[in-house]
Structure 1
Amino acid sequence: MIIIPVLAGILFTLNISAQDTESRFSTDKNSLIWENEGELFRIEAFGDNTLRFRSSRSLHITEENWNILDQPEVIPEIKIMPGKAVIINGTIRAEIRERDGLITYLNNKDEILLKEAFHHHVPRFARQYDSKGSDHFEIILTFVAEKDEHIYGMGQYPNDCLNLKGTVLELAQKNTQISIPFFISSKGYGFIWNNPSIGRADFSLTHTSFTAKYARQIDYFIFQEDTPAGLVRKYSDMTGKAPEMPEYGAGFWQSKLRYYSQEDLMKVAREYKKRNLPVSVIVADFFHWPETGDWKFDPEYWPDPKGMVEELEAMGIKLLVSVWPTVNMNSENYQTLRKNNYLIRPENGVNTFLPFAGYLTYIDPFHPGAREFLWSKLKQNYYDIGIRMFWLDESEPEMEPLDYENVRYYRGNGLEVSSLYPYYLSKAIYEGQVNEGQEEIINLTRSGWIGIQRFGTVLWSGDIYGDFETLRRQVKAGLNISLCGIPWWNSDIGGFFDSGLSKKDFNEVLIRWFQYGTFCPVMRLHGQRKPYTKIEGSPMHTGAPNEVWSYGEEAYGIMSRYLRIREKLKPYILENMKKASADGTPMMRPLFYDFPDDKQCWEVEDQYMFGPDLLVAPILEAGAKTRSIYLPDGPEWVDALSGKKYKGGKTIDYKVSIDNIPVFTRNNSDFRIDQN
């Protein structure tokens, strides 16, 4: 019997039956289940050293894995005791308090990895559900956090932070922002928020929380490994690995907004060959088409695309073609797409989502038929004339206004599934290429989600400004996304938008960015340079020249030398890309990835390892004469420029000139930067 005071002087007596005192725990195969009034959750083993948690107030747990791959079956150890239960899978275990379902995760050293938050006056504070009708909820999941914990990953955010502790991240895809909700912790665990809903991640000093705006259930994975490398490899096992990078992918990619005609593009390709400059890929950007959504060359400006591809191939250059998922109502494909429900739709209002050189809507790649239709057009108009590389721009998708709740996809409302759009768009192209027997696949896309690396995608950081502040942000954003299973990443060298700098100041930014780009997984020069030139009969202008010889003799001398350095690096890059394909090890990674026992490496945010042998310290400020560089403890480091040797475990003050970027080697690497 329990006596509860309700009002002053009044007592209420509640008799608890025998049934009320029965255990809230039960088991099912490899799962531990907890159920109480208004909530059900399941914790299960999911491969080695991994636990999966799912819960809902609907009392229904769905079996939707989204993009997570099946793992070998593991039988956990489950113990149900008075007042609590424990589930153990290898080096990770969860302890659950029976009366309120409060969960604590620990490693095999009894160290707490993650613990649900508790509030004395809010029952089940850690897991909150706000009903949105039927079986959907707005969900908030909250854990206690430690102030000195370091958090890395989560995709690509241009927030100038490598360590994400103290940040709030929107879980949504936007131009320059790629949401991949996976992080690794300095405490030795990895965490996947397995939910494509629009939401938020909060890594405050006092708590870590995830919010989903419209979802059926809480769904996450937590796993334990002793090193950051082990955590990233484990994540790659669960979400898939990139294919092996083709040889030409490791070379130099030439691009601008935009080569407006076949002759305009070919003049540049021929000039690279005339100057004996290495180039592997050249890009035909947007509005090479008659109408958006036609997915074909405009014959007025591109009269012989097949002959163009053949000439480029003879020069050893691949053609990358931009294919937007947008569709104009004037497109020859619009009516077929509309009648077959292959377009995304508004819940209310008119079916236009982007005012850009007309009123555009988007193809719906969630629909299998839409994916097949899109590929049929790409095959007919590009693939069949020899084009093997596709640039999937606008793949978030970008909308104005951005009202997720007013978008209807084949798989559901925009609030619930929008984050998956770039995954299914990439899937459409990749599966088409595979079905045609293509073995070397590499496509460029502006957005992604969990598992997109399986489709041979290069991600890039979107439409960014060309200045030193933006360059600095790229370094950190690129390192975080590299920890999310994405080995192929790059940025627009020089930035996309004009920052209003003088020619002299922009040249300095461009040179420093070009040097940094030489030591990125993919090296691509791109941008919208001023002044613009109007093209008669076309809705889109062309920008000023953006080739390595377009910026004066000093810039040309430095950049052409770094093109040859990149060529020299290609065998090393391809060797490490094979490793990325085999086990998920990223080519570009923070210092702590290779040196987890060196505490200083967890604090360095502006240097990185490029493969196991090269340490890169890009120049990220104007007029730099010196650069502070930390050399991790353990190995002997060799200056790739001078050959001078340094003992690790210390910070050096390194003199720099505009001609070079600081690079250091270890492991007896014979890589050197030729000063000539």
Structure 2
Amino acid sequence: MKFTDGYWQLRPGVSVLRPRSVDSVESGDRGFTVFAPTGEITGRGDTLNMPVVTVEFSSPASGVIGVTIGHHSGGLPKEPRFALAETHDHPVKVEVTDTEATLTSGGISARVSLGGAWHVDFLRGGDVITSSTERSVGIVTDGEGRRFVHERLALGVGEAVYGLGERFGAFVKNGQTVDIWNADGGTASEQAYKNAPFYLSNAGYGVFVDHPGHVSFEVGSEVVSQTQFSVAGESLTYFLIDGPDPKEVLRRYTALTGRPARVPAWSFGLWLSTSFTTSYDEATVTSFIDGMTERDLPLSVFHFDCFWMRQFHWVDLVWDPDTFPDPEGMLRRLHDRGLKVCVWINPYIAQRSYLFEEGRAAGYLVTNPDGSVWQWDKWQAGMALVDFTNPDAVAWFSGKLRALLRMGVDCFKTDFGERIPTDVVWHDGSDPERMHNYYALLYNRAVFELLEQERGIGEAVVFARSATAGGQQYPVHWGGDCESTFGAMAESLRGGLSLAASGFGYWSHDIGGFEGTPDPAVFKRWIAFGLLSSHSRLHGSGSYRVPWAYDEEAVDVLRHFTRLKMSLMPYLAAAAEEAHREGVPMMRPMVVEFPDDPTSAYLDRQYMLGPDLLVAPVMHEREVTFYVPAGTWTHVVTGEQLTGPGWFTQDHGFDSLPVLARPGAVIPFGAVHDRPDYEWADGVQLKAFAPQEGQRTRVSIPSAAGGPDAEFDVTVTGGVAQARLVAGASAAYEAIVVGGGRR
């Protein structure tokens, strides 16, 4: 939201109070509060009719500094609030002198100037990383009498900003206006399904605005040398999160807002969907699965989209009896074929669903101020909304899902959750504006926790579309409704990179695109991209996504990349464990792994999958241009080597794309190619790619069965790799050098 007209003037009807200088400081053991008048004080008389801005500095965790800017503090507290894992046992140093007040936590400090104009520096090791300056803080009143609070933090020369949720526009957010407001807008607009009021800077810090509702960011778009963020009301709280590198920022941020859960091993396999509006029954489903089996295409999960239920009844969570007369038997038959089953749900209750009257009578649906049920006709006729602020409503809705789980369903695609009204009343009295984004978290948490109860911790997984900060705890998330074009493939990748920079550990997308039918080239290129993402699903809208519907080469391409992913499961499982334990995502923007490489700051058509694999999806019939950081990189399939730093343009057949191993990386390849859930260390091949002579690497491989990790020491001597099992178990293993050693 912009408040100024150029640099000097305010927009019509807008007035702003700004802290001019510091009048006094109240300090404690773990923080301090600054009182800053909004005008010049030359004598006692100037204190009359003089608004004061109160700014509190604290530290909720090591390396994190919290700042709360307030005006009038007499308002009633508003819910919901983000659940933050604050700690109070880490060292915090507070120093107040005649000239400055400083709070230090970990390696970061906030230093407030006590003389002259308003000025706050955030420092790391004595170096300023960003600042709040004379015109940064504002208490704004607009022409309608609404109140807002904003802060502006300085952007350094060459500083780039990322994140703010899953955003499909330019990966670098500089120059953009970004509104944190969940919307069902597809992947081709400025709107986003997953909004998080958190941004990551390549200067090695992050900023999290602690407000679950609408937050407006002007990233170098109002004042070009500053990032502004603003919220409605009388106060604003934000946390400045130290790195000093992007991965450490993400570790600290996810420690504060929640780490991604572990997901089951089978979820990393290939998912096949009925697609959305296609016609299907058990015979159709069986024909798809038979077709996959006959063509030797590994399949792990079958997904039933919306029309597993009767039309106009979404959601009643009842199998359409005309289309699926024997759901229990069908689910049993699918399980007998080694498949897991996912079904589509959303939190909307059509008026024709039997759940509507049940929920209305019990008070489980969101209401209008007059107590009537809120309804509209978008999506489903007369639909209402489950009120997840009501514990009884959560138990009611979960109970309906539990019946499906006990019937044989394994997981849920938790679609929608973005179009949440703000003119309603919530059971717990939550503020409607704050609930708009937060609803997605409550919805997905309810379903995920039910799955943990029924299937066990580590066995729960959803396929979620909507989210906000903290939603990374309830994976997996997919990219929403994209078109079936190369352009949409690129925008989907930008969305995934932005989501990864927002602390989400896993991400998927619709292979081939959702809207329309991809031509065979798009479909085959998207297969490679999809199978080299954390989770892989074939899904569309009005057309099936079985590969033989496109051409026979698509069958071969799908087989090739599915087998490649299955063989990479020891490596992917370790990357997934890092996402769970540390909050570092499986898919990583290049800048996260290479923050000191200036070129990496702007790369949005390639990524790192885990720490050691560079993936550059081909978004063209044949040609791809990509960047290779310093060192000798090796194609994991062909053994071709490229030496960076530098740009490369290559032609690739549909069965290939740049998948390059980092110089010196030791990547474990599994012995199984047709399923993801096997004992990954048994028969593992440890490939050392262009290692240095004398290199020693520790490789950790999680256990698919939940046992101890297998730990290997791999050494390279005389161009030969040798492995030694030092922990855990493995039936057999070997180490080889790919690409020759380096001296």
TM value normalised by structure 1? 0.85
Contact 1:40 1:59 in 2 (8 A): no
Q: Counterpart of 2:110? A: 94
1:149 & 1:192 partners in 2: Cα distance?
17
- The 1:259–1:306 alpha-carbon spacing in structure 2 relative to 1, beyond 3 Å, is farther
Which 10-residue stretch deviates more, 432-441 or 161-170?
Answer: 432-441
TM-aligned CA deviation for residue 467 of structure 1? 0.7
Q: CA deviation at 1:608?
A: 0.9
Q: CA deviation at 1:662?
A: 1.5
* Partner-residue secondary structure (3-state), 1:180: coil
Distance (whole Å) between structure 1 residues aligned to residue 643 and residue 407 of structure 2:
55
2:397 match: 374
**1:304-333 deviation per Cα after TM superposition (whole angstroms, max 9, x unaligned):** 222222221121111111111111122212
Q: CA deviation at 1:23?
A: 5.2
Does the 8 Å contact 2:374/2:385 carry over to 1? no
Any idea what the Cα deviations from partners look like across 1:571-611, whole Å, max 9, x if unmatched?
A: 32122111211111211112222222222222322111111
Match of 1:253 in 2: 271
Q: Deviations over 1:233-285 (max 9, x none)?
A: 11121122122221111100101124643333233223323333211111111
1:9 matched residue in structure 2? none
Decide which of 636, 643, 649 is 1:640's aligned counterpart.
Answer: 636
Q: 1:293 aligns with which of 315, 320, 325?
A: 315
1:596–1:206 distance in 2 versus 1, CA, 3 Å = closer
The answer to whether residue 424 in structure 2 is matched with residue 407 in structure 1 is yes
Match of 1:149 among 159, 165, 169: 159
Partner of 2:570: 571
Residue 441 (structure 1) aligns with: 460
Is the 8 Å Cα contact of residues 494 and 509 (structure 1) preserved in structure 2? Answer: yes
**Is structure 2 residue 598 aligned with structure 1 residue 589?**
no
Match of 2:413 in 1: 391
- Residue 165 (1) aligns with residue 190 (2): no
Report Cα offsets for 1:372-425 as digits up to 9, x if no partner.
Answer: 111011112x011122201111122x36xxxx5423334534323211111000
The residue that corresponds to 1:33 in the other structure is: 33
- Mapped to 1, the partners of 2:178 and 2:198 lie a distance apart of 12
1:631 aligned residue: 628
Q: What's the CA shift for 1:492?
A: 0.8
1:96-495 mapped onto 2 (5 Å cutoff): 96-98=112-114, 102-119=118-135, 126-130=137-141, 137-159=147-169, 161-175=170-184, 176=186, 177=192, 178-204=194-220, 205-213=224-232, 215=233, 217-255=235-273, 256-257=275-276, 258=278, 260-290=280-310, 291-347=313-369, 351-380=374-403, 382-396=404-418, 398=419, 404-410=421-427, 411-436=429-454, 438-439=456-457, 440-455=459-474, 457-495=475-513
Q: Does 1:516 align with 2:542?
A: no
Q: Are the counterparts in 2 of residues 67 and 450 from structure 1 also a CA contact under 8 Å?
A: no
Q: Which deviates further from its counterpart, 514-523 or 174-183?
A: 174-183
Code of the aligned partner of 2:624? R
Q: SS of the residue aligned with 1:316?
A: coil
Aligned residues of 1:156 and 1:478 also touching (Cα < 8 A) = yes
Amino acid at match of 2:524: I
Q: 2: distance between equivalents of 1:100 and 1:405?
A: 43
CA contact (8 A) 1:259 1:284 kept: no
Name the aligned partner's letter for residue 653 of structure 2.
S
CA deviation string 1:471-494 (max 9, x = no partner): 111112111211222111111111
* Aligned partner of residue 365 in structure 1, secondary structure: coil
Checking the alignment, whether the CA contact within 8 Å between 2:296 and 2:559 is kept in structure 1 is no
How far apart are the structure 1 equivalents of 2:439 and 2:245? Answer: 32
> Quick one: which amino acid aligns to residue 416 of structure 1?
R
The 1:22/1:350 distance shift into structure 2, 3 A limit, reads closer
**Counterpart secondary structure, 1:408:** coil
Q: Could you tell me whether the CA contact under 8 Å between 1:326 and 1:360 is conserved in 2?
A: yes
Determine the structure 1 residue equivalent to 2:646. 650
Aligned partner of 2:68 in structure 1 is: 54
Q: Is the 8 A contact 1:406 1:414 kept in 2?
A: yes
Aligned-residue sequence identity (percent) comes to: 23
Distance 1:353 1:573 in 2: 44
Change (3 A) 1:354 1:248: farther
5+ unaligned residues in a row in structure 2: which ranges? 1-20, 37-50, 187-191, 671-743
- Helix, strand or coil: the match of 1:33? strand
Q: Are the aligned partners of 2:200 and 2:502 in contact in 1 as well (CA < 8 Å)?
A: no
Partner Cα separation in structure 2 for residue 356 and residue 313 of structure 1: 32
3-state SS in 1 of match to 2:480:
coil
- Matched position secondary structure for 1:359: coil
Looking at structure 1, the residues matched to 377 and 290 of structure 2 have their Cα atoms a distance apart, in angstroms, of 36
- Asked if structure 2 preserves the Cα contact closer than 8 Å seen for 1:395 and 1:447, the reply is yes
Q: Hey, what does 2:701 align to over in structure 1?
A: none
Q: Deviations over 1:487-544 (max 9, x none)?
A: 1111111111117xxx7xx211111111111110101111013xxxxxxxxxxxxxx3
Distance 1:314 1:26, change over 3 A: same
Instruction: Tell me how far 1:221 sits from its aligned partner.
Output: 0.8
SS in 1 for 2:364: coil
For residues 103 and 191 of structure 1, the distance between their equivalents in structure 2, rounded to whole angstroms, comes to 18
The 3-state SS of whatever aligns with 2:469 is coil
Say if 1:259 and 1:265, in contact at 8 Å, map to a contact too. no
**In 2 relative to 1, CA 216–550 (structure 1 residues): closer, same or farther, beyond 3 Å?**
farther
Cα displacement (A) at 1:657: 2.5
State the match for 1:535 in structure 2.
none
Q: Report the secondary structure of 2:172's partner residue.
A: coil
Deviations 1:85-127 (A, max 9, x none): 22121211112234799352322332222222423xxxxx513
Letter in 2 for 1:89: S
Aligned mates of 2:401, 2:118 — CA distance in 1: 52
Measure the CA separation in 2 of the matches of 1:85 and 1:261: 69
Q: Is the 8 Å Cα contact of residues 121 and 130 (structure 2) preserved in structure 1? A: yes
CA separation of 1:670 and 1:242: change in aligned 2, threshold 3 A? closer
Write the distance in 1 (CA, Å) between the matches of 2:661 and 2:181: 38
The corresponding residue for 1:70 is 86
Runs of 5+ unmatched residues, structure 1 = 1-20, 120-124, 530-543
Cα distance change, pair 478–633 in 1 and its aligned pair in 2 (3 A): same
Per-residue deviation, residues 339-364 of structure 1 (Å, max 9, x unmatched):
33322234589722342241212112
CA 1:143–1:108: 2 relative to 1, 3 Å: closer
Q: Which amino acid aligns with 1:611?
A: G
CA contact (8 A) 2:202 2:591 kept: no
Offset from partner CA, 1:36-79 (integer Å, 9 cap, x none): 54433321011111111123222259697513222352342222
One-letter code of the match for 1:307?
G
**1:57–1:129 contact (8 Å) kept in structure 2:** no
Letter in 2 for 1:508: A
CA contact (8 A) 1:199 1:212 kept: yes
Tell which deviates more after alignment, 85-94 or 459-468.
85-94
- Residue 156 of structure 1: SS of its match in structure 2? coil
Q: Cα RMSD (Å) of the superposition?
A: 2.8
Please name the residue that 2:58 is paired with. 44
